[in-house]
Structures are given as C-alpha cells and as structure tokens.
C-alpha cells in the first residue's frame, strides 16, 4: 500500500485546475498596471493592444502568414460555435466525439444544426475514434486534445493534404502546449484561460484561406446571430482579424493575455512551452508507472495529453465498486488534497469516468507536480483506510 504519512514538501502553487488554469510563474496583479481601463476598445491605443494579442499569438504559434486570427466573444465555445454555424452544411461532416466537449460539438451538429449528412465517429473515454474512417471529401470537426479524457491526437496523418472538406479543430487545451499541424487544419480555436493562464471570456478564431473561401462562397440555410457573423454584404469582415472585435472585450483581460504572451516569448516561445508541458506529463508518467493503484485514462501511451492529464484508479478493490461508490471514493481523494491545500480542482470532469485530472500546461511548474505526487499516495491511502474501516464495521 502507498505511504500513509503526510509528505513534507508541498507544491508552491496548488493550482492544477484544467481551466481557468494556473497563472504563469511569478504572476502578480502588477502585470495589469498598464491596462487601458475606462477606454473605448475602438480607440486607437486599445485597438492596438487587441491587435497586439493577435500578432503575438500568431507569431508564438507559428501560424502561417496567410491565416487570419480574430478575438471573438464567448471564449472557446463561442469560437467553435461561430465556425460550426458559419461553415457547416456545405458538404457532409465527420465529427470525432471521444469525450465531453467533442461530444457536445456532435450534439450541436446533429441535434441543433440538424445536418443530415453528419457522421459521428465516436470512441469511449480513454480512446480515439477510428481515424481511418475520416473522409477527405467531408468537413471534419475535432478536438486536438480531449480535455476531459486526457486523450490527444498524435499526428494529422489521417487528414488528407488534398482534402476537399474543411477541418475545424477545437484546440483550446492544445494550443501553446502541442505542435499544431496548420497545413492539415482550416479552423483552429482556443481561449485565453488555458495553457498561458489568461483570464476567461474571450475566444480566438483562426481561419485558413480555405476557410475564408468557404465563408465567401457559401451561405448557411439558417440565420446567424450578430455574434457569429464573420461576413457582411458578401465580404469578409476583415476588421475582426485586426482587433475590431464584434462586441466589447475586457481591456483588463487583454492586458493579462498580453502578459501571458510576453512571458511565453521570454522563456523561449513555443518549444519551451511544449517542453514544460511534456516535462509535467513525464513526471506524472514516472509516478504512475511505479504504482499499481493508478493509471492513465488514455489507453495508448502515445495519446496521453500533456495538458489535461487524466488518471483513473485501477486498484482491484476500487474497480469492483458500484459506479456511484467509485465516484465518491475518487472525489474523496481530490477533496482531501484540496483540504490539505496541495491541489485545487483536480477531480475528474463531471461527465468523465471517476478519477483525477491534473493540469500540466506550461504555466504549471514541474517542481510543483513533483511535490504534489506523493500527496496522491497519501490521499489514496486515507481513502483505502476509510474504506477498510467501513468494511470492518
């Protein structure tokens, strides 16, 4: 059994939530001092700050020069919904649904947009769908990283370079932590509160030239509300991609996003961000590999996410419990850790199998992950002791 003694070392920062995610190391509110508060976002300087978020994000991510990037309402959900409602319906669509968020896009497409030619390529938590089934003549909707299962795509070989359809990629828990194959994608979305630890509420929508072409040549059969509209009078609303947001953004969040981007540039850009995240995954993999009570939810080690690191409890006593008892026992582990002040918000997502989800994005220090891990043994042991006590009564 794991050690019952409380570990001596504690994480310096106990924030391991999968969103909003930990602020960058050394963050303080002083980073926001230059925020253009009380100003119109349409005025020259505030608009320039919005454009700066766009330009710095593009450069940091290595986005191709002919792509457009805009700041849009309603976070990543807003960005994905804009893409789905603006672009889909022109041809059949394949949706990869392998955890809660990608399932939500499938529901939108099938039940709300009611697209007749939609195929849902589904897989249970822990697995990827049959990628070989993706048809290059179809549009494709996918999450690059399944935040609630901790399963990520490892490459884009299943996407044809000569595809006729568009690939709409929800990359909110992948952008800035994983290499994105831009040439195989047409729409990429994310939000500020994930890998760079920004403030929530704002979405990023990146469009390839092919996606823009679709916007200009196809008009959906359904009406589009103002916050989804990317065209006007048959023309692309170019201002969106230069910092002229559709509605009012928070200049405080903008300043915070810039702080995150500058921090990322300062530590060495995308390769450094990816390396930090991969180091966090590696630390957890070492720990899990040396334990027989815990394992990754992702079945194939290659698909293990380096951001939303999802773990399941595999001890025999646990696996024979009823589903609600499993959920309760797993929840107890995360609440013990929260009470001890060593890890906040690491219970598995509410719709996912019971377990733990530790955010390993770039703002999380590997030393903090390493300090947290012995506490998992500690909390698990407390739960085992309690279960044995209850069984003996």
DSSP secondary structure letters along 37-73? TTS-TTSHHHHHHHHHHHHHHHHHHT--TT-EEEEEE
Least distance in angstroms from the C-beta of 170 to ligand PLP: 5
Interface pattern 128-167 for ligand PLP (x via CB under 6 A) = ---------------x---x--------------------
**Among 15, 76, 94, 368, contact with ligand PLP (rule: CB under 6 A):** 76
Smaller CB distance to ligand PLP: residue 190 or 296?
A: 190
* Residue 9 C-beta: closest distance to ligand PLP, Å: 29
Nearer to ligand PLP, 46 or 150 (CB): 150
Query: What Cα–Cα distance (Å) separates residue 362 from each residue in 106, 152, 272, 279, 306?
Result: 29, 16, 8, 9, 9
Q: Give the range of 118-126, 168-176, 243-251, 325-333 binding ligand PLP by CB under 6 A.
A: 168-176
Stretch that binds ligand PLP, among 70-78, 298-306, 326-334, 352-360 (CB under 6 A): 70-78
Beta bridge partners of 313: 294
Binding track, positions 80-119, relative to ligand PLP; x by CB under 6 A: ---------------------x------------------
Q: What is the CA radius of gyration of the chain?
A: 22
Rounded least distance, CB 199 to ligand PLP, Å: 11
Burial 234-254 (b: 16+ CB within 10 A, else e): eebeeebbebbbbeebbbebb
Kindly state the number of chain residues that form the binding site for ligand PLP, as judged by CB under 6 A: 11
Q: Which stretch binds ligand PLP (CB under 6 A): 69-77, 213-221, 244-252, 373-381?
A: 69-77
Rounded Cα–Cα distance for residues 22 and 197 (Å) = 5
Q: What is the distance between the alpha carbons of residues 224 and 253, in angstroms, rounded to a whole number?
A: 27
Q: With beta carbons less than 8 A apart as the criterion, state whether 148 and 102 touch.
A: no
What's the closest the beta carbon of residue 72 comes to ligand PLP, in angstroms?
A: 11
Task: Pick the binder of ligand PLP from 13, 57, 172, 280 (CB under 6 A).
Answer: 172
Rule CB under 6 A: say whether 378 interacts with ligand PLP.
Answer: no
**312-371 binders of ligand PLP (CB under 6 A):** none
Across-strand partners of 50? Answer: none
CA-CA distance, 240 to 213, in Å (whole number)? 16
**What is the C-alpha separation between 304 and 302, in angstroms, rounded?**
6
Residue indicated by tokens 């609600």: 324
**By rule CB under 6 A, what string of x and - marks binding of each residue 207-236 to ligand PLP?**
------------------------------
| Alpha helices for the chain (secondary structure H) | 44-61, 75-87, 100-107, 209-217, 251-266, 269-289, 316-319, 323-339, 366-392
Label each residue of 340-362 as H, E or C: CCCCECCECCCCCCCCEEEECCC
Tell me which residue of 20, 97, 68 sits closest to 359, measured CA to CA: 20
Exactly one of 81, 94, 170, 365 binds ligand PLP (CB under 6 A); that residue is: 170
Applying CB under 6 A, among 191, 305, 334, 366 the residue interacting with ligand PLP is 191
Near ligand PLP by CB under 6 A: residue from 19, 89, 129, 354:
19
Distance, in Å, from the CA atom of 89 to the CA atom of 105, rounded to the nearest integer, reads 14
Binding-site ranges for ligand PLP (CB under 6 A): 19, 75-77, 101, 143, 147, 170, 172-173, 191
């Amino acid at each position: 059994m794991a050690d019952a003694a409380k570990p001596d070392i504690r994480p310096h920062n106990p924030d391991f939530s999968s969103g909003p995610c930990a602020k960058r190391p050394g963050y303080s509110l002083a980073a926001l001092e230059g925020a253009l508060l009380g100003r119109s976002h349409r005025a020259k300087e505030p608009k320039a700050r919005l454009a700066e978020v766009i330009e710095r994000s593009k450069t940091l991510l290595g986005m191709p020069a002919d792509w457009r990037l805009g700041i849009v309402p309603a976070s990543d959900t807003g960005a994905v919904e804009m893409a789905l409602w603006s672009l889909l319906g022109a041809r059949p669509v394949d949706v990869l649904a392998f955890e809660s968020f990608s399932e939500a896009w499938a529901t939108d497409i099938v039940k709300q947009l009611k697209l007749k030619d939609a195929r849902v390529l589904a897989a249970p938590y822990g697995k990827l769908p049959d990628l070989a089934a993706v048809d290059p003549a179809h549009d494709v909707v996918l999450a690059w990283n399944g935040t609630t299962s901790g399963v990520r795509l490892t490459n884009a070989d299943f996407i044809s370079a000569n595809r006729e359809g568009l690939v709409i990629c929800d990359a909110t828990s992948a952008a800035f932590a994983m290499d994105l194959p831009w040439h195989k994608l047409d729409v990429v979305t994310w939000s500020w509160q994930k890998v760079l630890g920004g403030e929530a509420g704002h979405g990023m929508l990146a469009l390839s030239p092919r996606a823009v072409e679709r916007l200009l040549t196809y008009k959906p059969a359904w009406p589009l509300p103002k916050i989804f509209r990317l065209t006007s009078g048959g023309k692309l609303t170019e201002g969106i991609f230069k910092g002229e947001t559709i509605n009012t953004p928070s200049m405080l969040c903008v300043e915070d996003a810039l702080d995150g981007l500058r921090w990322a540039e300062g530590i060495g850009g995308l390769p450094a961000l990816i390396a930090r995240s991969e180091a966090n995954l590696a630390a957890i993999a070492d720990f899990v590999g040396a334990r027989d009570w815990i394992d990754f939810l992702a079945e194939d080690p290659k698909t293990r996410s380096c951001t939303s690191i999802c773990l399941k409890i595999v001890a025999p006593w646990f696996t024979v419990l009823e589903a609600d008892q499993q959920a309760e026992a797993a929840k107890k582990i995360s609440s013990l850790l929260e009470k001890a002040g060593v890890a906040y918000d690491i219970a598995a997502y509410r719709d996912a199998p019971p377990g733990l989800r530790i955010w390993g994005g770039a703002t999380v220090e590997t030393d903090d992950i390493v300090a947290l891990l012995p506490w998992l043994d500690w909390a698990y042991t407390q739960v085992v002791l309690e279960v044995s006590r209850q069984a003996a009564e």
